[in-house]
């Protein structure tokens, strides 16, 4: 994939809020796939520690560094946001000045009711319709928002086995969506599916709450596969 | 399964609004599994015609009759509701006097925006949270509501091949949910999953709109599989 717009040398991926389980899992899988990763965190030292841990797991070829969130944001134009819903808006407002035009923000935020003391199997209503649509309101002009990676088990991402799930990618920017699908497909076992417009993130976000409910009830690490589509729908 | 509470002789299944694609597909699959089916329709003649067509496809052993909806409702205590959202409330109000205490109403209604002239890939907000919860408000006391079968392709149900999808079953009545999971598992290729409380139908209903969007975009008959749960979660 060298020369490809998603290739490591050309475009590092900043994982903002990257020290949580979803962020470290994505960092691990993408670093293994040869992507350059910048872990972002409020605490730069914590980001560096997590980056070192990931380098330790991936091996000498890993390109993983750690920075404070704003610095990570300024150093990359592929931004992966993995923060709890209750901090999403504040983080985006803080990072807005550091985002450069032409950047892509991949949002995996799920508005779980757990964020305000409710159940993780329930969601909150978001005025814009979804956390991803809220993100789209908060980024500067010229930054494209893509919703993806909501339904991937963070625990399984942090493991070594291939995953058994699909990533539904929603965006109003087809190029940004395609790049995100290419990144998703770099995770072993993941198939990426074009889920259409960003507004469809409403349902994709809700699915996570359903999966959390299934995990609690059945003690598993649930994911989803979409069946019944022609082969070219998966990539 | 003879002697089982869901077995044919003991408890016929009335499929209310059973002449539409979802209703005929379920009737076909359950008739093949040996269940006794009563197709319900506003138009008794239409119900009888559809029943005859299903008997023709299943063969001489099929136990399938057709009746006007209220008569079908009175003749069964397992009620499967397959009507468009925009008629759900009116149908339930009409059928309420015909429902007997101890009955189970399995609701597959999806509040698609298409019902009011919008897109089939969008849903309407339902005050109660979901179409299934609306149904629960409209049935008489002593009738249990189960939400299930939203995500099964009606077109594939009407075919002969095994399906490739899971049915997530949500209800506040564990016995009714179990009976519904047993009925789901009688459809070749279907696994039934306990999705917990009826309120979780909110997400399961939304998933249908997402799948419709995928079908439009990718020209398929999308379904879902839940991965990552222990074997005992599927039945």
DSSP state letters, B8-57 = TTT--EEEETTTSHHHHHHHHHHHHTT-EEEEEESSHHHHHHHHHHHHHH
**Which residue stretches of chain A are H helix?**
21-32, 44-58, 69-74, 85-95, 131-138, 154-157, 174-185, 201-218
Rounded alpha-carbon distances, angstroms, from residue B52 to B42, B47, B190: 17, 9, 25
pLDDT in tens, B171-207: 999 999 999 999 999 999 999 999 999 999 999 999 9
- Residues with Cβ within 8 Å of A60's Cβ and at least 6 positions away in sequence, in order, are none
Q: Report the alpha-carbon angle A178-A180-A182, nearest 5.
A: 70
Ordered alpha helix ranges (H), A75-200: 85-95, 131-138, 154-157, 174-185
Pick B221's closest partner by Cβ from A209, A219, A228.
A228
CA-CA-CA-CA torsion sign (A170, A173, A176, A182): positive
Selection from B105, B133, B138 nearest residue B197 by Cα: B133
Q: Note whether B112 and B122 are within 8 A (CB).
A: yes
**Interface-testing mutation among A122, A172, A228, A234, with chain B (most B C-beta atoms within 10 A):** A228
- Do B31 and B59 meet the contact criterion of CB atoms below 8 Å apart? no
- Which of B122, B126, B226 should we substitute to test contact with A (largest number of A Cβ atoms within 10 Å)? B226
Strand partners, A191: A166
Q: Is B151 on the interface with A (CB under 8 A)?
A: no
pTM of the model: 0.94
Residue the block writes with tokens 């101890």: B102
- In the prediction, which pLDDT does A235 show? 74
**Cβ neighbours for A90, distance < 8 A, ≥ 6 positions apart:** none
**Cβ neighbours around A173 below 10 Å, total:** 16
Give the separation between CA B33 and CA A51, rounded to whole angstroms: 56
All residues of chain A having their beta carbon less than 8 Å from the beta carbon of residue B196 are 121, 213-214, 217
Q: Which of residues 187-206 of A touch B (CB under 8 A)?
A: 193-196, 199-200, 202-204, 206
> Quick one: A26 exposed, middle or buried, by C-beta within 10 A (0-12, 13-18, 19+)?
buried
- For residues A157 and B228, what is the distance between their CA atoms, to the nearest angstrom? 12
How far is the alpha carbon of B113 from chain A, nearest alpha carbon, in Å?
Answer: 13
Look at residue A10 in the predicted model and tell me its pLDDT: 65
Share of chain A above pLDDT 70, in %: 96
Q: Round the average pLDDT of chain A to a whole number and report it.
A: 95
Residue A5's pLDDT is what?
A: 44
Query: In A, which residues are within 8 Å of B195 by CB distance?
Result: 210, 213-214
Q: What's the rounded Cα separation, in Å, for the pair A92 and A94?
A: 5
For chain B, strand residue ranges (E) read 13-16, 36-41, 63-68, 78-81, 104-107, 144-147, 165-171, 190-194, 223-227
Q: What is the mean pLDDT of the segment spanning A154-162? A: 98
pLDDT of residue B210: 97
Say if the Cβ atoms of B223 and A228 lie within 8 Å. Answer: yes
Facing residue for A203 by CB, picked from B153, B164, B206: B206
| pLDDT exceeds 80 at position A3 | no
A127-138: average pLDDT: 98
pLDDT per residue as tens digits for the range A108-126: 999 999 999 999 999 999 9
Q: How far is A130 from chain B (nearest CA, A)?
A: 13
Q: How many CA atoms lie within 13 A of B182 on its CB side?
A: 15
Those of residues 204-223 in B touching chain A at CB distance below 8 A are 204, 206-207, 209-211, 213-215, 217-223
Contacts for B89-98: CB closer than 8 Å, 24+ residues apart: B89/B134, B89/B138, B91/B16, B91/B17, B92/B135, B92/B138, B92/B139, B93/B138, B94/B69, B94/B70, B95/B16, B95/B69, B95/B70, B96/B138, B96/B139, B96/B140, B97/B70, B98/B70, B98/B71, B98/B73, B98/B74
CA dist A178 and A85 (Å) reads: 25
In the predicted structure, residue A6 carries a pLDDT above the cut 70: no
Inter-residue contact A15 to A80 (CB < 8 Å)? yes
Residue A231: CB atoms within 10 Å: 7
Could you say which residues of chain B have pLDDT below 70?
A: 1-10
> 3-class SS at A63?
strand
By Cβ distance, the residue of B209, B215, B224 closest to A224 is B224
Q: Per residue in B68-77, pLDDT tens? A: 999 999 999 9
**Is the pLDDT confidence value at A49 over 50?**
yes
- Partner residues linked to B222 by β-bridges: none
Cross-chain residue pair A227–B223, CB shorter than 8 Å: yes
Closest A-chain CA to B217: A196
Residues from chain B contacting residue A199 (CB–CB below 8 Å): 122
CA A153 to CA A223: how far, in whole Å?
7
Distance CA B93, CA A74 (A): 59
The answer, for A165 touching chain B at a CB cutoff of 8 Å, is yes
> Of the candidates A183, A123, A207, A234, which has an alpha carbon nearest to the alpha carbon of residue B214?
A234
Residues from chain B that touch A207, judged by Cβ atoms under 8 A, are 203, 207
Lookup: tokens for A14: 């900043």
């Amino acid at each position: 994939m060298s020369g490809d717009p998603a290739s490591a040398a050309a475009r590092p991926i900043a994982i903002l809020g990257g020290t949580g389980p979803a962020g470290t899992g994505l960092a691990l899988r993408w670093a293994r796939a040869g992507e350059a990763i910048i872990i972002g965190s409020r605490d730069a030292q914590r980001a560096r520690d997590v980056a070192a841990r990931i380098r330790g797991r991936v091996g000498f070829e890993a390109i993983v560094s750690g920075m404070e969130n704003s610095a990570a944001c300024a150093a990359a134009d592929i931004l992966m946001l993995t923060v709890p819903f209750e901090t999403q808006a504040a983080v985006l407002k803080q990072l807005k000045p550091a985002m450069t035009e032409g950047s892509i923000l991949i949002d995996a935020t799920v508005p779980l009711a757990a964020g305000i003391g409710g159940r993780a199997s329930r969601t909150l209503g978001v005025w814009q319709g979804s956390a991803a649509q809220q993100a789209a309101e908060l980024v500067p002009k010229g930054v494209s928002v893509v919703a993806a990676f909501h339904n991937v088990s963070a625990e399984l991402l942090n493991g070594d086995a291939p995953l058994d799930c699909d990533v539904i990618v929603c965006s109003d920017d087809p190029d940004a969506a395609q790049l995100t699908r290419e990144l998703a497909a770099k995770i072993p076992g993941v198939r990426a599916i074009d889920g259409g417009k960003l507004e469809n993130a409403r349902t994709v976000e809700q699915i996570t709450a359903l999966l959390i409910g299934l995990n609690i009830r059945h003690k598993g690490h649930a994911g989803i596969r979409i069946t019944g589509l022609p082969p070219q729908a998966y990539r």
